[in-house]
C-alpha cells in the first residue's frame, strides 16, 4: 500500500493458502478500492474461488492478512464477516432450493433486524429485478439459471452490503442474461456498492471493471486498470499458460 | 373388524411416539448430515427423569412433561457442545462414532444410577377407555396424539415463521451458503439438538407411561425405530419423518396382529432394508434429488501407519505361543482366549470397515451365523467340531454376503444403518425360527472344542487352538492387503466413484471383502459356541458389534496388527485394572469418544 493513497475497502496482503499439503495461493495481494469494481481473472483451478472463500472466511489462509475497512478479518467467522458488510453471490448461485424465491431473498437480510426497512428493500429488489415479481412464491430450485442468478444478486443486496463478492456471475447464462447481469452489476456499483468479482471470461469482465488481476496457479501475474489490460496480449497469454499448467 | 380399528389406533399412537424421535433425527441429519445414534439414549434419559419426577417428586403431569423436556434439551445441548462441535473439522466418520460412544456412556450412566432392572412408570392419567367406532381409546392415547400433533405444529410454525427456523432450513439445504448469509451454524446446530433432545425425552416419558414400564434396553430400540422412520421418510426430511413414523407404527401393529408380538421388530427392519434398497432417499424424495450425502474417501482418517518390523512380530507370535507353557494363571489364559476370539471378529471388521470402507454396525450377526451353524451341525448331525467350525465360517461368509449384498450400492452412514438393521434381522430370525434355532430357549449342550477326535479341554489347548486360528487368519489378511486385491479395496474406500470409473466392479470387490470377513467372524462365532456350550439369540448382540468397532478404531482402521492389539487392549485392560463388569461398557464408550477426538487414526494408524 503506497502512502497517501486512500485506504482500500478490502486488502489481501501476502496470503498463502493450503488445502492439506497443496498450496493454492502464493503471496497473494489484492486490493479493492472504495466504490470500485475489481475483477479477478484466471483459468480453471487457478485459485479464484478459493480467493472468495478467503475473503468470506470460509477458508483461512496459513499466512497473510485480510483487512476490510482497515480491520482484520482473519480471526472472524463467516457470519461475523457478513455482518461487517460483505455479501456474496457464490459460485453456481447456491440458492436454498427448497425455499421460495421470497424466502431466499429475505435470507439475504438475515443479519438485519429492521423489519420495515427490509420489507421496503424487498420491494426495491422487485423494481430492480422485475421478473422476480411473479416468481416470489415459487421454489427457488425450479427457476431457470438466469432467474436464479437474479435471485442470488437480490439476496446479496438485501444485507445492504458495502462489498459484494461474486464468483463467476455469468457462468452458464445465455448471452441475453450475461448482458443483463453485467448491466446490473454496473447499476449496483453506481449505487455505491463495491464489487469484487471472479471471472473466467476476461473480455466481458474487463468491460465493466475498474481494475483487474490475473491469477495463474495461485500467483498474481498481471494487474492494473481494466482499460489498459483490455488490449494487453499478456492477459490471453496468462490464460493459455494457466490452462496448460492445469 | 373391531380389533382392526384397535390395531390401527395402536399403530398411529406408537407412530406418534416414533415421530417424536424421528423428527429430531431428521432435523439433525438435515443440518449436520449426521445420524445421531445417541437419540435413543436421550429418550432413555427422558423416561428416567420422568420416573424421578412422577415417583419421587410427585409432579403433576404438565410439570412432568416440562421437566423432562428441559432436562433432555440440556443433555442434547451438552452433547452438541462437547461431544460433536469439537469434531466439526475432522473426518466424516468421527461424529457418527462419537454419537455411538455418547450413547454407550449415557445408557451406562443411567443403568449405573438406576440399576438395570425395569421400573414401573405409572401413567398419571385415569385408566378409562372410550368406545370409538368399533375400537377403544384411552386418555393416554389422546395425550400421546396431542403431544405428537402439537409438537409437529409448533415445529412447523418455528421453521416457517421464525428467523431461527429459517436459519435451520437454510443451513439444512446449503450450509456454506447459509453461513454466507450470516447464519451462525453452531447456533443452528445447538437449536436443532435442543429441540431433538426435548422431543426425544418427552417421547421416552410417554412410552414409559404407555407400557407402564421403563428399562435401559429402550435406548437402542428407540434409536433403531427412529432411524427406520426417518430413513423411510427420507433422511433429513421433517414431514417425511412424521409420515414414516406413522407408516412404521401401522406396519408393526398390523404385523403383530397377523404374526404375533415377537415379529414386531422384524417388520420394522425389513421395511428399512426394503426402503434403503429400493429408494435410499426415502419414499417421498423426488427421484432427481441427489442422495443427501456427498461422500468420498474423507470418511476415514488418512494416516501413516506405524511400521512394525517383521522380526518383532515373529518374536511376539512365538512369545504368545509359548505362553501356556509358562506358569501363568488360568485366568490370564482365559482372558487371552477371549481376546483372540474378539481379535478374529476385529480382523473381519477392520477389513470391511477399514480397508473397503463399509462401516458395519451389525458384525455380531456374522458371529451368530457361525455359532449357530457350527453348534447345530455338531449337535444334530454329529459333524466333527473342527469341521463344523469351518462350516460355520463358510456359512457366515456366504449368508453374510448374500444378506448385505442388496445394500452394496449404499454409501457412508447408510451402510452403517443397513448393517445394523441386517444384524437385528438375523437375531430376530434366530428368535422366531424355532424349528431350527430353538427360538428363545437357545441351544445348550453344545459339544466342547475338539480336533481330529481329541477334545480340547485344557485351557492351554483351547488357547493354542484359538491363537493359531487367529494368526493364520491374520497372515492371510495381511497377504490380501498387500496384493492387487487389497489395493482395489482401498481404491473403492477412498473414492468409489473414481474406482468405478476405472472399471472396478464395486459389487464384486465388496462381496469378496464380506466373504473373507464373514469367514473370519463365523469361525470366531463357531469357536465361541463350543467354548460357551450354550448360546441364544442374545449371545451375539449389538453391543458386541460396537465393541468390535471400538477395537478396530483403537487399532487403526484396516490395520491387521492393530485389530489384534486393540482386542487385547480392550479385553485385557479391564481385567488388569479389575474393572467391574458394569463399568466396562462405560469405559468402552469413553475410549471410543477419546479416540475419535484425539486419535482417529488409532494406535497403529489406518492403512
Ligand atoms: N476443498 C478443497 N480441498 C482440496 N482441494 C481443493 C478444495 N477446493 C479447491 N481445491 C483445489 O484448489 C485449487 C484451486 O481451486 P479453486 O476452486 O480456487 O479454483 P478456481 O480458479 O475457482 O477454478 P474454477 O475456474 O474451476 O472455478 C484446485 O486445484 C482445486 O482442486
Ligand atoms: Mg471456481
Whether A42 is in the pocket of ligand 1, judged by its Cβ within 6 Å, is yes
Is any ligand 1 atom within 6 A of the Cβ of residue A47?
yes
* Res A197: pLDDT: 95
Kindly state whether residues A8 and A73 are assigned to the same domain: yes
CA of B501 to the centre of ligand 2 (A): 24
Residue-level pLDDT at A5: 61
Q: Which residue has the CA at smallest separation from atom 28 of ligand 1?
A: A45
Surrounding ion ligand 2 within 5 Å at CB are A 49
- In a 13 Å sphere around the CA of A47, the CA atoms on its Cβ side amount to 28
Q: Which atom of ligand 1 is nearest to the CA of A168?
A: 27
Name the average pLDDT for chain B.
89
- Per-residue confidence (pLDDT) for residue B496, from 0 to 100: 77
Query: How far is the CA of A69 from the CAs of A85, B183, B502, in angstroms?
Result: 10, 22, 50
CB contacts of B174 in chain A (<8 Å) are 94-97
| Same domain membership, residue A194 and residue A178 | yes
Q: What is the pLDDT of residue B293?
A: 46
d(CA B449, CA B462): 8
pLDDT at B4: 83
Where residue B294 falls among pLDDT bands split at 50, 70, 90? very low
Q: Does B342 score more than 70 pLDDT?
A: yes
Q: A149 CA to middle of ligand 2, Å?
A: 16
Q: How far is A82 from chain B (nearest CA, A)?
A: 5
Find chain B residues with C-beta within 8 A of A97's C-beta: 173-174
Supply B259's cell numbers.
Answer: 404374526
A50, A53, A79, A148: which to substitute to probe chain B, counting the most B Cβ within 10 Å? A79
| B408 or B516: which leads in pLDDT | B516
- Ligand 1 centroid to Cα of residue B355, in Å, is 28
A142 vs B contacts (CB less than 8 Å): none
Whether residue B292 has pLDDT greater than 50: no
Per-residue confidence (pLDDT) for residue A92, from 0 to 100: 83
Position A77 in a domain:
yes
Q: Is B328 exposed, middle or buried (0-12, 13-18, 19+ CB in 10 A)?
A: middle
Give chain B positions within 8 Å (CB) of A99.
166, 169-170, 173
Rounded average pLDDT over B82-111: 89
CATH class of B310-318+329-598: mainly alpha
When pLDDT is averaged across residues B239-260 and rounded to a whole number, the result is 91
pLDDT tens per residue across span B559-601:
999 999 999 999 988 888 877 877 888 888 899 899 888 888 8
Lowest mean pLDDT among A9-23, A212-226, B88-102: B88-102
The per-residue pLDDT for range A65-120, each reduced to its tens digit, is 999 999 999 999 999 999 999 999 998 889 998 899 999 999 999 999 998 999 99
Query: A28 C-alpha vs ligand 1 centroid, how far in Å?
Result: 15
> How far, in Å, from the CA of A167 to the mean position of ligand 2?
7
* Position A224 in a domain: yes
**How many other C-beta atoms lie within 10 A of the C-beta of residue A119?**
12
Contacts with A91 (C-beta within 8 Å, 6 or more apart), sequence order: A49, A52, A167, A168, A171, A198
pLDDT band at residue A243 under the 50/70/90 scheme: very low
For residue B189, give how far its alpha carbon lies from the nearest alpha carbon of chain A (Å): 15
Q: Which domain holds residue A150?
A: 96-160
Of A79, A95, A99, the CB nearest to B183: A79
What is the domain-level CATH number for residue A195? 3.40.50.300
Decide: A45 in ligand 1 pocket, CB within 6 A: yes
Distance CA B14, CA B261 (A): 14
Q: Could you tell me if A111 and A69 lie in one domain?
A: no
CA-based nearest residue in chain A for residue B176:
A58
Q: pLDDT by residue (tens digit) across B137-193? A: 888 889 999 999 999 999 999 999 999 999 999 998 888 899 999 999 999 999 999
Residue A90 lies in a domain: no
pLDDT band at B288 (very low <50, low <70, confident <90, very high): very low
Same-domain status, A100 and A192:
no
* Predicted confidence (pLDDT) at residue B124 exceeds the cutoff of 90: no
Give the percent of chain B with pLDDT over 70: 97
To the nearest 10°, the Cα dihedral for B101, B103, B104, B108? 140
Closest Cα in chain A, distance from residue B173 (Å) = 6
Q: Which residues of B touch A106 (CB under 8 A)?
A: 166
Q: Is the CB of A46 under 6 A from ligand 1?
A: yes
> So what's the ipTM on this one?
0.91
Binning chain A into helix, strand and coil, the percentages to the nearest 5 are 40, 25, 35
| A246 CB near ligand 1 (under 6 Å) | no
- B166 neighbourhood in chain A, CB within 8 Å: 99, 103, 106-107, 110
A186 pLDDT exceeds 60? yes
For A25-69, write each residue's pLDDT tens digit.
999 999 999 999 999 998 888 999 999 999 999 999 999 999 999
Alpha carbon distance A72, A183 (integer Å): 32
Residue ranges of alpha helices (H) inside B90-211 are 93-114, 139-161, 163-173, 175-180, 185-211
What letters, b where the CB count within 10 A reaches 16 and e where it falls short, cover B457-481? eebebbbbbbbebbbebbeebbebb
- Name the grid cell of A168: 463467476
> Between chains, do A95 and B177 touch, taking CB under 8 Å as contact?
yes
Question: Which of B167, B174, B176 has its CB closest to that of A58?
Answer: B176
CA-closest candidate to residue B557, choices B415, B253, B353: B353
Per-domain residue ranges of chain B: 2-227, 310-318+329-598
Kindly state whether residues A77 and A187 are assigned to the same domain: yes
d(CA B167, CA B162): 9
Q: Report the range out of A2-11, A133-142, A228-237 with the highest average pLDDT.
A: A133-142
- The Cα–Cα gap between B126 and B135 comes to 18
pLDDT for the residue numbered B188: 94
Kindly state whether residues A143 and A234 are assigned to the same domain. Answer: no
Domain boundary, last residue among A140, A160, A180: A160
Element (H, E) at B252: helix B238-259
User: How many structural domains is chain A composed of?
Assistant: 2
Segment B347-356 shows an average pLDDT of 91
A116/A218 same-domain check: no
Q: What are the pLDDT digits (tens) for B41-85? A: 999 999 999 999 999 999 999 999 999 999 999 999 999 999 999
* Tens-digit pLDDT profile for residues B504-561: 788 888 899 999 999 999 999 999 999 999 999 989 988 899 899 999 999 998 899 9
- What confidence category does residue A164 fall into, taking pLDDT thresholds of 50, 70 and 90? very high
One domain for residues A179 and A57? yes
- Identify the residue with better confidence: B440 or B235: B440
Amino acid at each position: 500500500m503506497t502512502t497517501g493513497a486512500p485506504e482500500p475497502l478490502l486488502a489481501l496482503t501476502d496470503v498463502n493458502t493450503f488445502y492439506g499439503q497443496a498450496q493454492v495461493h502464493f503471496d497473494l495481494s489484492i486490493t479493492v478500492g472504495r466504490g470500485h469494481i475489481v475483477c479477478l481473472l484466471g483459468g480453471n483451478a487457478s485459485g479464484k474461488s478459493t480467493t472468495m472463500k478467503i475473503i468470506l472466511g470460509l477458508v483461512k489462509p496459513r499466512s497473510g492478512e485480510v483487512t476490510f475497512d482497515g480491520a482484520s478479518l482473519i480471526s472472524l467467522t463467516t457470519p461475523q464477516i457478513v455482518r461487517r458488510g460483505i455479501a456474496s453471490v457464490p459460485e453456481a448461485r447456491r440458492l436454498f432450493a427448497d425455499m421460495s424465491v421470497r424466502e431466499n431473498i429475505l435470507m439475504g437480510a438475515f443479519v438485519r433486524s429492521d423489519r420495515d426497512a427490509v420489507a421496503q428493500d424487498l420491494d426495491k429488489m422487485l423494481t430492480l429485478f422485475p421478473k422476480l415479481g411473479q416468481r416470489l412464491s415459487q421454489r427457488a430450485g425450479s427457476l431457470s439459471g438466469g432467474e436464479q442468478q437474479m435471485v442470488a444478486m437480490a439476496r446479496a443486496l438485501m444485507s445492504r452490503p458495502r462489498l459484494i463478492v461474486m464468483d463467476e456471475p455469468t457462468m452458464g447464462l445465455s448471452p441475453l442474461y450475461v448482458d443483463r447481469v453485467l448491466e446490473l452489476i454496473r447499476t449496483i456499483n453506481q449505487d455505491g456498492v463495491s464489487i469484487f468479482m471472479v471471472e473466467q471470461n476476461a473480455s466481458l469482465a474487463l468491460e465493466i471493471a475498474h481494475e483487474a488481476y490475473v491469477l495463474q496457479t495461485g500467483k498474481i501475474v498481471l494487474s492494473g486498470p481494466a482499460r489498459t489490460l483490455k488490449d494487453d496480449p499478456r492477459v490471453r497469454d496468462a490464460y493459455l499458460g494457466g490452462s496448460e499448467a492445469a | 373388524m373391531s380389533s382392526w380399528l384397535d390395531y390401527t389406533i395402536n399403530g398411529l399412537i406408537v407412530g406418534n411416539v416414533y415421530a417424536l424421535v424421528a423428527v429430531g433425527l431428521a432435523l439433525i441429519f438435515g443440518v449436520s448430515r449426521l445420524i445421531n445414534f445417541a437419540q435413543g439414549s436421550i429418550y432413555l434419559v427422558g423416561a428416567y427423569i420422568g420416573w424421578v419426577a412422577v415417583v419421587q417428586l410427585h409432579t403433576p403431569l404438565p410439570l412432568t412433561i416440562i421437566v423432562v423436556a428441559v432436562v433432555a434439551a440440556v443433555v442434547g445441548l451438552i452433547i452438541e457442545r462437547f461431544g460433536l462441535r469439537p469434531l466439526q473439522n475432522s473426518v466424516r466418520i468421527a461424529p457418527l462414532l462419537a454419537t455411538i460412544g455418547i450413547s454407550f456412556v449415557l445408557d451406562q450412566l443411567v443403568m449405573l444410577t438406576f440399576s438395570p432392572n425395569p421400573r414401573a412408570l405409572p401413567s398419571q392419567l385415569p385408566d378409562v377407555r372410550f368406545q370409538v367406532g368399533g375400537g377403544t381409546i384411552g386418555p393416554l392415547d389422546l395425550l400421546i396424539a396431542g403431544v405428537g400433533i402439537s409438537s409437529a405444529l409448533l415445529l412447523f410454525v418455528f421453521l416457517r415463521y421464525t428467523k431461527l427456523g429459517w436459519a435451520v432450513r437454510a443451513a439444512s439445504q446449503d450450509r456454506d451458503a447459509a453461513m454466507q448469509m450470516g447464519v451462525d451454524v453452531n447456533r443452528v446446530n445447538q437449536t436443532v439438538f435442543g429441540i431433538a433432545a426435548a422431543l426425544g425425552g418427552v417421547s421416552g416419558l410417554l412410552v414409559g407411561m404407555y407400557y407402564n414400564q421403563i428399562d435401559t434396553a429402550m435406548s437402542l430400540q428407540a434409536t433403531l425405530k427412529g432411524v427406520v422412520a426417518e430413513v423411510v421418510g427420507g433422511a433429513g426430511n421433517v414431514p417425511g419423518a412424521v409420515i414414516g413414523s406413522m407408516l412404521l407404527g401401522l406396519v408393526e401393529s398390523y404385523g403383530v396382529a397377523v404374526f404375533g408380538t415377537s415379529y414386531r421388530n422384524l417388520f420394522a427392519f425389513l421395511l428399512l432394508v426394503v426402503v434403503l434398497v429400493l429408494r435410499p432417499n426415502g419414499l417421498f424424495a423426488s427421484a432427481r434429488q441427489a442422495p443427501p450425502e456427498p461422500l468420498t474417501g474423507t470418511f476415514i482418517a488418512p494416516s501413516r501407519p506405524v511400521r512394525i518390523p517383521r522380526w518383532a512380530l515373529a518374536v511376539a507370535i512365538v512369545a504368545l505361543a509359548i505362553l501356556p507353557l509358562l506358569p501363568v494363571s488360568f485366568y490370564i489364559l482365559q482372558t487371552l482366549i477371549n481376546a483372540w476370539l474378539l481379535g478374529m471378529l476385529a480382523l473381519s471388521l477392520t477389513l470391511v470397515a477399514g480397508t473397503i470402507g463399509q462401516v458395519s454396525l451389525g458384525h455380531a450377526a456374522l458371529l451368530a451365523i457361525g455359532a449357530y451353524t457350527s453348534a447345530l451341525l455338531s449337535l444334530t448331525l454329529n459333524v466333527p467340531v473342527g469341521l463344523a467350525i469351518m462350516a460355520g465360517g463358510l456359512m457366515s461368509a456366504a449368508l453374510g454376503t448374500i444378506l448385505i449384498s442388496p445394500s452394496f450400492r449404499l454409501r457412508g452412514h447408510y451402510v452403517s444403518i443397513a448393517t445394523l438393521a441386517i444384524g437385528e434381522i438375523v437375531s430376530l430370525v434366530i428368535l422366531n425360527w424355532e424349528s431350527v434355532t430353538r427360538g428363545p430357549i437357545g441351544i445348550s449342550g453344545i459339544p466342547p472344542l475338539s480336533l481330529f477326535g481329541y477334545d480340547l479341554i485344557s485351557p492351554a489347548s483351547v488357547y493354542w487352538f484359538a491363537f493359531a486360528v487367529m494368526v493364520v487368519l491374520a497372515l492371510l489378511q495381511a497377504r490380501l492387503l498387500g496384493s492387487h486385491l487389497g489395493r482395489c479395496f482401498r481404491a473403492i474406500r477412498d473414492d468409489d466413484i473414481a474406482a468405478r470409473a476405472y472399471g472396478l466392479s464395486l459389487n464384486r470387490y465388496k462381496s469378496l471383502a464380506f466373504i473373507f470377513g464373514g469367514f473370519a467372524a463365523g469361525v470366531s462365532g463357531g469357536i465361541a459356541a463350543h467354548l460357551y456350550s450354550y448360546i441364544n439369540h442374545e449371545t451375539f448382540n449389538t453391543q458386541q458389534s460396537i465393541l468390535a468397532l471400538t477395537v478396530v478404531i483403537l487399532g487403526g482402521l484396516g490395520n491387521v496388527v492393530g485389530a489384534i492389539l486393540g482386542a487385547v487392549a480392550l479385553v485385557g485392560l479391564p481385567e488388569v485394572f479389575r474393572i467391574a463388569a458394569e463399568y466396562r461398557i462405560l469405559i468402552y464408550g469413553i475410549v471410543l469418544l477419546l479416540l475419535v477426538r484425539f486419535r482417529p487414526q488409532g494406535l497403529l494408524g489406518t492403512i
